[in-house]
Chain A
């Protein structure tokens, strides 16, 4: 991780899934540190794919992806865990662990990093409070509504205070009031220096919280 390298860089990145047409054609863009950027585009445009490439959940067909100056192609497997601890991801499909409680789900990123859970209990409680789930701490994800699951996924993504937050439609399943509340949380993280890349379809939010936008269209990316 280089000190003043951009948070995220795509250099001539092309992506094609094993079967099917290309999703990205030689995409280039740079996200400087501390920026807040939206990704927009139609359904199926490749927004989730772009995030997946950024957290190294996928290898691009061609090109290079650099996260804080680190070329993901050259990142040895042994250093992946450390790399991922600097990145928070809110998945479009949440990916909560169904047999663990809300509290345990949120605590997991710190638990796997070896933080004693007696120490992190206060942090987890506070964060659950923030997303309005403190009264659901001991419930399993199946017993939560779509919006509640989403808030849980957000809490898990930010508990490690990541340097880069990748959020895939984090306000897609909540009402406007909750969406606003979550946006304030993101704005606060942004003010603390977190680089944020957020997929959204919500024009109202973009208007209310204006930030640069990247548009994904026909496999190409352009700034709006």
Chain B
């Protein structure tokens, strides 16, 4: 590795001259693209995982201080008013916001389908905001609500957030497995290319051996070509990833649920992770080609 990045001055006889040929087979021309797409998907998986983290934390933080009170549509108006009055008088609640029928309908539409009959008993929903400094016990509030009428219930979103968290956890496990599989694919692709280049350059390798080249010298030539190849591949992957992020940004910045996720386009931590992963993938590829070359070379007896 030490001489992999060796400085080559202008007077160097071997400047810009690869000792091995790798342009000749068709695979060589596709390999930067294959590795590029592989690296892109690995980066995308990383991006997806970071997104799922942010999704859960964003929802957590927005929902932690809002609960929803549900009132069965068949309740009498004075019981409705009693609920509202009780909520407004409870300490620890900063705002009580009953959603009107149309808003509730709009919220339910995606679940119940397009044509909602007007006389269907629609539950009334009341959004309540809580004071962070004055924590309220959901059990007590729930009991007081059902004391007014058993059809009044409190939803603290715990259940839902729990479900989402569990779902996201499974999603991340799946993503990690997929990522590892893709990295394995990348290593296999690099190994295959190195083997092909090795076969293609057999005569050159023999001649180099006869002129006193060490296996290390020869392996380094393969490392250099892999380095170049994966740098090209990573650039392709990064360009694809940035395009995805930019289009997500333009697509999602006006959607209230997504805005928090797509801005900023390049969050610091995520950017650092993507750069580190790119570097690691390049390093891994170079290592794989070195190992492949050395293993092949060890088989040559003379």
Contact = CB atoms under 8 A, between A and B. Distances in A.
A107 B214 contact: no
Interface of B is mostly: loop
Contacts of B207: 95, 97
A103 B14 CA distance: 9
Interface in A114-145: 117-118, 120-121, 124
Interface residues on A, range: 20 to 34
Nearest to A82: B212
B211 A84 contact: yes
A108 B302 contact: no
Given A58-B302, A118-B11, A124-B13, A99 B21 contact: yes
A195 to B, nearest CB: 17
A104 B14 contact: yes
A89 B212 contact: no
A112 B217 contact: yes
A109 B302 contact: no
B21 A80 contact: no
B147 interface: no
B211 A104 contact: no
Interface in A46-63: 55-59
A125 B12 CA distance: 13
B269 to A, nearest CB: 43
B280 interface: no
A55 B212 contact: no
B212 A81 contact: yes
Contact of A107 (B13, B21, B204): B13
Nearest to A113: B212
Contacts of B298: 77
Given A80-B209, A81-B212, A95-B207, A56 B13 contact: no
B210 A100 contact: no
Interface residues of B, number: 22
A121 B13 contact: yes
Contacts of A103: 13
A160 B21 contact: no
B125 to A, nearest CB: 75
A121 B14 CA distance: 11
B19 interface: yes
Interface in B43-99: none
A108 B11 contact: no
A56, A97, A124, A156: which has the most chain B beta carbons within 10 Å? A97
B208 interface: yes
Given A81-B213, A95-B210, A112-B213, A56 B302 contact: yes
A85 B212 contact: yes
A156 B207 CA distance: 12
B301 A77 contact: yes
Contacts of A120: 13
A111 interface: yes
Contacts of A81: 209, 212-214
A108 B208 contact: yes
> 3 smallest A-B Cβ distances: which pairs?
A112-B213, A117-B13, A85-B212
19 contacts: A57-B210, A84-B209, A84-B211, A95-B203, A95-B207, A95-B210, A97-B204, A97-B207, A99-B21, A104-B17, A112-B208, A112-B213, A113-B212, A117-B12, A117-B14, A118-B11, A120-B13, A121-B11, A160-B212
Given A57-B302, A156-B211, 13 more contacts: A55-B210, A77-B298, A77-B301, A81-B212, A84-B212, A95-B210, A97-B207, A100-B19, A111-B13, A112-B212, A112-B214, A121-B11, A121-B13
